[in-house]
Structure 1
Amino acid sequence: MTRSGRTVRGLDAEQRRAQRRADLLEAALTLFGRKGFANVPIEEICQTAYVGTKSFYELFDSKEACYLALFEQLVADLSARMLAAFAEGNREDEALLETFARVLVVDPRVPRVVFAQSTAVSPAVERRRRENRRWGAGFVEEVWRQQGVIPAGADVRAIAIATVGGLFELVTEWLFEENEDVELLIGQLVAYGRVVRAGLTSIVDGVSSDG
């Protein structure tokens, strides 16, 4: 190790801090994904990351804060991938649902942390989980509008939130069954999407007929 007043191994203080944070979040992802949030002490996260406990508390106030930071990172990555798929022209329901499932299960730790554990961590995490669901509902609404499924100005927010909740619940159920067949998950998501789409089409057709 080469030391100077400013750098260690070529990294300045902020870069070392960022590296410690990344190492801690990676360790938390592994441990939470394997053992569950409640069964992982801070000391184990630090040992796995090769980061001192003092450094942990310089970055996170608590284990909950660490989980929230990890949740934010994972959700941001998933959201970016879904937006990219949408921007690339994958705008049909089934294509988007397949993309969602395949992106989600690339790393099995991710769905376990984001879906299987987030409801049992704390009220703060529950609030963030609901914010994520509302973002998902907004994304779904935009897809429906782009596809022409719902007319401009139609208020389908509640239906979109319920749709996202159902999709998330299917993912959670798939995880609890410890099923590694992603094709089964895709099939369940697509089947659910078709039911919702049929219901929306009926509502729109009914409104058009009344008009």
Structure 2
Amino acid sequence: MGSQRTYGGISAEARRAQRRTALLDAALEIVGTLGLAKLTVSGLTAQAGLNERYYYESFDSRDAVLTALLDRIAEELAAAIVEALRTAPPDTRGTANAAVAAGIHLLTDDPRKARVALIAGMATPELRARTNQTVRVFARMVAAEGSDFYGLGDREPDPAIDFRATYLVGGLVQTLTAWLQDDLPMTRDELIEHTTDIFVLLGEDFAARMRDK
């Protein structure tokens, strides 16, 4: 039985995970450089260097591939932001700038990721729903980090926190999409600085309102 479970010292589960990763890497390359229309089973497996039967080992549709790819990018994005916050300067602007810069750099250092996350993520109703769910996850992350930073964690939950966090994340998604499509004539550094301004403005304003209550 052991020989059936391992090959070359690698378990069957590990080999399956490697093939899935190879397929997602191939999907990132195809969608990020050629566009969504070029994402086919034959094209995907050829790019990954795998037999087509291995596609069906992990996925049952193109939307399943894209959903998994979107989830992987979201996980990378969350990890980058958490790490940036861990080493960020303690002041308001330094903290906001570190998080904003980490997120924008993650999506634009490899432009394929931004194209998948912000453009392909809106291709079908199912993918739009997944994107909206991801926006909500990051909005909750912003709300939690902001509440901790301003010392508001012990207060009663305030819907205004979620409103502002959702506004910030949703607005950033739309702004970054426009920037990627060359509709906003500014550099990436300028985009980061302007985004930081908005995060600081809304965060400081809300904290002041809560202190005055």
TM-score range, shorter chain: 0.7 to 0.9
Q: Tell which deviates more after alignment, 75-84 or 147-156.
A: 147-156
Q: Report whether the alignment pairs 1:168 with 2:170.
A: no
Q: Distance in 2 between matches of 1:14 and 1:47?
A: 22
Q: Which segments of 5 or more consecutive residues in structure 2 lack a partner in the other structure?
A: none
**What does 1:120-199 align with in structure 2 at a 5 Å threshold?**
120=123, 122-148=124-150, 152-153=155-156, 154-155=158-159, 156-177=161-182, 184-199=187-202
TM-score by length of 1: 0.83
Which residue does 1:108 correspond to in 2? 111
Give, as a single letter, the amino acid of the residue that structure 2 aligns with 1:133.
V
Q: Distance in 1 between matches of 2:86 and 2:45?
A: 39
Q: Which segments of 5 or more consecutive residues in structure 1 lack a partner in the other structure?
A: none
Q: Distance in 2 between matches of 1:184 and 1:150?
A: 34
Aligned length: 204
Deviation at 1:49?
A: 0.8
Q: Distance in 2 between matches of 1:178 and 1:39?
A: 25
RMSD: 2.7
Which residue does 2:19 correspond to in 1? 20
Residue pair 1:149, 1:200 contacting (<8 A) in 2 also: no
Q: Percent identity?
A: 26
Q: Tell which deviates more after alignment, 130-139 or 145-154.
A: 145-154
**SS of the counterpart of 1:143?**
helix
Residue pair 2:164, 2:202 contacting (<8 A) in 1 also: no
Q: Distance in 1 between matches of 2:199 and 2:81?
A: 20
**What does 1:46-125 align with in structure 2 at a 5 Å threshold?**
46-90=45-89, 92-120=95-123, 122-125=124-127
Give, as a single letter, the amino acid of the residue that structure 2 aligns with 1:18.
A
Residues 1:137 and 1:162: Cα distance change in structure 2 (over 3 Å): same
Q: Distance in 2 between matches of 1:206 and 1:133?
A: 25
Residues 1:208 and 1:18: Cα distance change in structure 2 (over 3 Å): closer
Deviation at 1:79?
A: 0.7
Q: Distance in 2 between matches of 1:193 and 1:110?
A: 22
Residues 100-131 of structure 1 deviation map (CA, whole Å, 9 limit, x = unaligned) = 222222222111111122011x2222221111
Q: Distance in 2 between matches of 1:150 and 1:59?
A: 43
Q: Distance in 1 between matches of 2:202 and 2:81?
A: 24
Residues 1:207 and 1:53: Cα distance change in structure 2 (over 3 Å): closer
**SS of the counterpart of 1:52?**
coil
